[in-house]
A and B are shown apart, each in its own frame.
Chain A
Amino acid sequence: MRSFSLHTVGKGSDDSGLDQPGSEYKFFGYQYSFRISYFKMMHFLLLFSRQGKLRLQKWFLPLPERERKKIVKDMTTMVLARKPRTCNFLHWKDLKVVYKRYASLYFCCALEDQDNELMALETLHRYVELLDKYFGNVCELDIIFNFEKAYFILDEFLMGGEIQETSKQSVARSIEASDMLQETMEEYMSKPAF
Chain B
Amino acid sequence: MSDVVEKTLTALPGLFDSQTGAARITNRLRQLIKSITELTSKHDEENLIKQELSAMKEQVSSPNTTMKQMREVMVRAMYCEMLGYDASFTYIHAIKLAQQGGVLEKRVGYLAVSLFLSEGHELLLLLVNTVLKDLQSTNLIEACMALTVVAQVFPKDMIPAVLPLVEDKLSHPKEIIRRKAVLALYKFHLIAPTQVQHIHGKFRKALCDKDPGVMTSSLHIYLQLITESPDGYKDLTGSLVTILKQVVGGKLPVEFDYHSVPAPWLQIQLLRILSLLGREDPSTSELMYDVLDESLRRAEMNHNITYAILYECVKAVYTIHPKAELLEKAARCIGNFVLSPKINLKYLGLKALTYVVQHDARLALQHQMTIIECLDHADYTIKRETLELLFRITNAQNVTVIVEKMLDFLHGCNDEHTIIHLVCSG
Contacts and interface: CB of A to CB of B under 8 A. Distances in A.
B308 interface: yes
Contact of B193 (A17, A55, A170, A189): A17
B381 A91 contact: yes
A128 to B, nearest CB: 13
What does DSSP make chain A's interface, helix, strand, loop or mixed?
A: mixed
B162 interface: no
Contacts of B107: 152, 178
B179 A166 contact: yes
A159 B151 CA distance: 7
A148 B75 contact: yes
Nearest to B273: A39
Given A57-B82, A119-B305, A160-B186, A87 B344 contact: yes
Interface stretch (B220-228, B287-295, B358-366, B403-411): B220-228
A91 B21 contact: no
A122 interface: yes
A179 B114 CA distance: 20
Contacts of A168: 255
Contacts of B165: none
A178 B156 contact: no
B22 to A, nearest CB: 6
A144 interface: yes
A83 B379 CA distance: 8
A181 B307 CA distance: 41
Contact of B266 (A7, A83, A165): A165
Interface string A172-186: 001001100110011
A34 B53 CA distance: 35
B312 A34 contact: no
Contacts of A15: 192-194
Contacts of B104: 181-182, 185
B152 A160 contact: yes
Interface residues of B, number: 88
A116 B183 CA distance: 22
Given A17-B193, A145-B30, A155-B148, A119 B120 contact: no
Contacts of A16: 194
Contacts of A145: 26, 29-30, 33
B93 interface: no
A119 B30 CA distance: 36
A167 B255 contact: yes
B384 interface: yes
Given A87-B347, A119-B265, A144 B186 contact: no
Nearest to B267: A165
A177 B144 CA distance: 11
B228 A20 contact: yes
A39 B227 contact: yes
Contacts of A126: 258
B412 interface: no
Contacts of B269: 40, 165
Interface string B246-288: 0000000101101000011110110010000000000000000
A160 B194 contact: no
Contacts of A85: 343
A126 B228 CA distance: 30
A13 B193 CA distance: 12
B64 interface: no
Contacts of B84: 54, 69, 72
Interface in A2-22: 4-7, 14-17, 20, 22
Nearest to B119: A62
B381 A144 contact: no
Contacts of A88: 344
B10 interface: no
Interface stretch (B209-217, B231-239, B326-334, B393-401): B209-217
B33 A159 contact: no
A167 B212 CA distance: 9
Contact of B194 (A14, A93, A94, A162): A14
A15 B102 CA distance: 37
A165 B120 contact: no
Contacts of B344: 87-89, 117-118, 121
Interface of B: 5, 8, 20-22, 26, 29-30, 33, 75, 78-79, 82-84, 86, 102-104, 107-108, 111, 114-115, 118-120, 122, 141, 144, 148, 151-152, 156-157, 176, 179, 183, 186-187, 190-195, 212-213, 216-217, 220, 223-224, 227-228, 253, 255-256, 258, 263-266, 268-269, 272, 304-305, 307-308, 311-312, 343-344, 346-348, 351, 378-382, 384, 415, 417-418, 421
The list of the 7 closest CB pairs from A to B, nearest first, reads A167-B255, A62-B118, A6-B120, A17-B193, A165-B216, A34-B191, A118-B308
Given A7-B156, A90-B381, A166-B216, 6 more contacts: A5-B119, A34-B156, A39-B223, A170-B255, A182-B104, A189-B21
7 contacts: A22-B227, A36-B190, A116-B308, A117-B347, A118-B348, A119-B264, A122-B304
